[in-house]
């Protein structure tokens, strides 16, 4: 529902995101070198025609950084299925661009480190927030990486602190591997274009100032419907470097209506 189901059409759709007037303007080269350090980012997850050009900014930047060994995908649970924090346990996920293996060993380590996290398939069955990132990842890396999908129905600050601690421990205990941790989230939903931009700015100010508590405060105070605020918070707690907003736009900028817009931001730490 969010991207074409046929390989050639999907590739054209991805390339159109990179070359879009709101995108980075060029198609990235596939990296041949390994990332020098772990990487962290926030990327939107709507249909490619709406959020794809903003997402492309992040993936273009990541391609320049090199290839990770493991990608950890954190995203909100929109469906209500499954457990509060659900880590997909094993096997592989397929898209029209091929199959990517779930990193069973890393998934099990995360469960061991965090008492409230479980391996669970049901939370992922109809959830789009993580799946839509895979074709972008396959476009820049091929299928030569493993990944760990984690859906978040419980995005409370204390839960995200525990998740961040577990992720930090896993990265330390696997220090020879390079991790890419992606928070999949759209910004404010269904206010006007102007109101959405203003609400998004409150979230972006908290992120760029590296203030996790202010992120939660801003979301509550201003009624900001950023769906993956917990995923963003978890990344903020473990990311090294400084956060940079590569692109901020709304669905109105990419062809939707101005009365009910959704905000999108592409953010990386460097």
Mean pLDDT of 255-268: 97
Question: What is the rounded distance in angstroms from the CA atom of residue 230 to the CA atom of residue 43?
Answer: 14
Can you read off the two tokens belonging to residue 104? 């069973």
Mean pLDDT of 53-66: 98
Mean pLDDT of 50-74: 98
Nearest to 69 by CA among 150, 149, 211, 180: 180
Range of lowest pLDDT (78-82, 110-114, 132-136): 110-114
Q: Position of tokens 């799946």? A: 131
Contact, 40 vs 239, CB < 8 A?
Answer: yes
- Domain extents in the chain: 7-269
pLDDT of 116 above 90: no
Give strand pairing partners of 39.
180
Res 44: pLDDT? 98
Nearest to 161 by CA among 217, 114, 108: 114
Single pTM value for the model: 0.97
Quickly state the pLDDT bin for 1 (edges 50, 70, 90): confident
CATH code reported for the domain at 7-269? 3.40.830.10
SS (H, E, C) 110-152: HHHHCCCCEECCHHHCCCCCCCCHHHHHHHHHCCCCEEEEEEE
Contact, 155 vs 26, CB < 8 A?
Answer: no
In angstroms, the Cα distances linking 106 to 114, 170, 233 are 12, 7, 21
> Average per-residue pLDDT in the chain?
97
Res 115: pLDDT? 77
Biggest alpha carbon–alpha carbon distance for the chain: 49
Question: What is the rounded distance in angstroms from the CA atom of residue 133 to the CA atom of residue 31?
Answer: 18
Question: What is the rounded distance in angstroms from the CA atom of residue 248 to the CA atom of residue 244?
Answer: 11
Contact, 117 vs 71, CB < 8 A?
Answer: no
Our CA angle for 233, 102, 76, nearest 5°, is 30
Q: Which helix (H) or strand (E) holds 105?
A: helix 104-113
Nearest to 54 by CA among 256, 270, 237, 258: 256
Backbone angles phi, psi at 131, to 5 degrees: -55, -40
pLDDT of 204 above 90: yes
Mean pLDDT of 200-216: 98
pLDDT of 110 above 90: yes
Mean pLDDT of 194-201: 98
Contact, 185 vs 232, CB < 8 A?
Answer: yes
DSSP tag of 177: S
Res 180: pLDDT? 98
Res 117: pLDDT? 87
Mean pLDDT of 90-104: 97
Using one digit for the tens of pLDDT, what is the confidence trace for 123-165? 999 999 999 999 999 999 999 999 999 999 999 999 999 999 9
Res 28: pLDDT? 98
Quickly state the pLDDT bin for 184 (edges 50, 70, 90): very high
Question: What is the rounded distance in angstroms from the CA atom of residue 42 to the CA atom of residue 203?
Answer: 12
Mean pLDDT of 244-252: 98
Mean pLDDT of 164-178: 97
């Amino acid at each position: 529902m969010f991207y074409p189901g046929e390989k050639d059409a999907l590739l054209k759709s991805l390339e159109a995101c990179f070359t879009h007037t709101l995108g980075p303007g060029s198609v990235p080269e596939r990296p041949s070198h390994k990332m020098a350090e772990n990487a962290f980012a926030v990327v939107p997850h709507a249909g490619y025609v709406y959020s794809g050009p903003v997402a492309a900014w992040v993936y273009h930047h990541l391609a320049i950084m090199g290839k990770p060994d493991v990608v950890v995908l954190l995203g909100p649970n929109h469906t209500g299925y499954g457990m509060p924090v659900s880590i997909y346990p094993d096997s592989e996920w397929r898209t029209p661009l091929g199959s990517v293996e779930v990193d069973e060993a890393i998934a099990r380590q995360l469960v061991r480190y965090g008492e409230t996290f479980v391996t669970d398939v049901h939370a992922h069955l109809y959830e789009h927030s993580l799946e839509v990132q895979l074709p972008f990842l396959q476009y820049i890396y091929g299928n030569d990486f493993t990944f760990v999908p984690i859906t978040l129905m419980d995005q409370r600050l204390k839960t995200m602190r525990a998740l961040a601690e577990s992720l930090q421990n896993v990265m330390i205990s696997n220090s020879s591997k390079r991790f890419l941790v992606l928070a999949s989230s759209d910004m404010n939903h269904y206010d006007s274009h102007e109101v959405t931009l203003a609400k998004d700015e409150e979230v972006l100010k908290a992120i760029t100032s590296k203030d996790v508590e202010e992120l939660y405060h801003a979301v509550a105070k201003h009624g900001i419907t950023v769906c993956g605020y917990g995923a963003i918070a978890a990344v903020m707690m473990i990311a090294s470097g400084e956060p940079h907003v590569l692109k901020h736009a709304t669905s109105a900028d990419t062809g939707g209506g101005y009365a009910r817009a959704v905000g999108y931001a592409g953010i990386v730490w460097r």
